[in-house]
Amino acid sequence: MKHDEQKRAVAREALRYVVDDTWLGVGTGSTANFFIDELAKVKQRIKGAVASSVATAERLKAHGIVVEELNNVSDLPVYVDGADEVTSHGAMIKGGGGALTREKIVAAVARKFVCIADASKKVDVLGKFPLPVEVIPMARSYVARELVRLGGFPAWRMGFTTDNGNVILDVSGLSIVAPFVLEDRINGIAGVVTVGLFARRGADVILLGGEAGVETIRVDPGGRRQVGNDGRHRA
């Protein structure tokens, strides 16, 4: 299967996790777009969707799916979204599409995160894909210097502004063997809005599209809390 066919296959599979008569969190990106197109075929099953970006909200609305503000939704059983990299422990790099902050907020509210991706996104150690960091514009240079101190090589995503009016630094050169620690460390830099490292709130279920079909990985929540993506236990 080609990548697009794999993305469509996981998008279809993700429909199994949609809970009838509830609100559904919907992510951003090309895989999420396949999911939205599949969701449109069964839209009567749900109350509507909470979108993780303006682009996703527009696509949902174009399909006639009701879009509700997160502030008006107290219970979100499921969030479906893609990833740029994902480990078998459910830790992810996200934000290739620049929607990382809203994605992290919707994921935080959701009770279950279903990650949909083609098999090329599965890695043993995160960091080959440059790690996106959303930054308040006036802090860009300062945050970049701090990221260099952490061993990274930040690049300003020129000409791109997030839905929140901020800029993105894409950080290459990191081998992320302790994702929890790095997530907290980068989030602690003044001026950082969000790091696109989803370790503390990782995926609960990973649907990977490969040559042979869709592989389902159910992440053990205990394991996610205790194990780094190198398999070493963390305090």
C-alpha span between 64 and 48 (Å, rounded): 10
Task: Give me the least distance between CB of 149 and ligand 5RP, in Å please.
Answer: 25
Q: Which two tokens stand for residue 139?
A: 């802090």
Window contacting ligand 5RP (CB under 6 A); options: 26-34, 174-182, 187-195, 212-220: 26-34
DSSP reduced 3-state for 219: coil
Nearest 5°: the CA angle 42, 46, 49 is 105
Considering beta carbons, is residue 96 or 228 the nearer one to ligand 5RP?
96
Residues 6+ apart with CB under 8 A from 213: 9
Residues 6+ apart with CB under 8 A from 74: none
Map the footprint of ligand 5RP across residues 71-130, applying CB under 6 A.
Answer: 81-84, 94-100, 103
Q: Which residues pair with 209 in a beta bridge?
A: 118, 214
Please tell me the count of residues contacting ligand 5RP according to CB under 6 A. 17
From 5, 13, 58, 103, the catalytic residue? 103
C-alpha span between 29 and 52 (Å, rounded): 10
Out of 30, 105, 150, 178, the residue judged to bind ligand 5RP by CB under 6 A: 30
Window contacting ligand 5RP (CB under 6 A); options: 28-36, 165-173, 199-207, 226-234: 28-36
Residue 28 binding ligand 5RP, by CB under 6 A: yes
Considering beta carbons, is residue 56 or 229 the nearer one to ligand 5RP?
56
Question: Among 235, 234, 231, 4, which residue's Cα sits nearest to residue 125?
Answer: 231
Residue 170 binding ligand 5RP, by CB under 6 A: no
Whether 103 is catalytic is yes
Binding site for ligand 5RP (CB under 6 A): 27-31, 81-84, 94-100, 103
| Catalytic residue numbers, as ranges | 103
